[in-house]
Amino acid sequence: MKILLLLLCVGMTLSAAELRVSMISLGVTDMARSIQFYRETLGLVMGGKPGEVTMFRAGDVTIALNAPLGRSAGTAMVGAVEVIFGVESVAVSHRELEEKGCRFVATPHEVTTGLWAATFTDPDGHRLTILGGK
């Protein structure tokens, strides 16, 4: 039986099509402030009740605001991670988010022909980008 299982495991391969990101967990330092930002500023829908880990739906991906992760990160809160939101118009979304108080670290710019991006930060400094048409 062990040999059969080993042969089955050795012969198995995962294709990239089978791997799907379902959740991104972001460490936060102030849950109430982060909830307000993701719900009020970004307009994401909260899944369930707020707690030490609070979930928001972002299309097919869940963003988990994670207070224990934030506490364990100490001063190393922000790393080389960026959450990218697909939008129809970067210019329109940029204007709307700026009106809601988002601080942009990169204004709308063309990344490749016809594909535009602008980057802002959440209250904990996590980089969030809007990406789409002009």
Segment 72-96, tens digit of pLDDT: 877 765 666 789 999 999 999 999 9
- Mean per-residue pLDDT, 37-43: 97
Q: What is the value of pTM for the model shown? A: 0.74
| pLDDT confidence band for 65 (50 / 70 / 90) | very high
SS (H, E, C) the chain: CHHHHHHHHHHCCCCHHHCCCCEEEEECCCHHHHHHHHHHHCCCEEECCCCCEEEEEECCEEEEEEHHHHHHHCCCCCCCCEEEEEEEEHHHHHHHHHHCCCEEEEEEEEEECCEEEEEEECCCCCEEEEEEEC
pLDDT digits (tens, 9 = 90+) for 47-63: 989 999 999 999 999 99
Query: Is pLDDT of 107 > 80?
Result: yes
Q: Which domains does the chain have, with CATH numbers?
A: 21-133 (3.10.180.10)
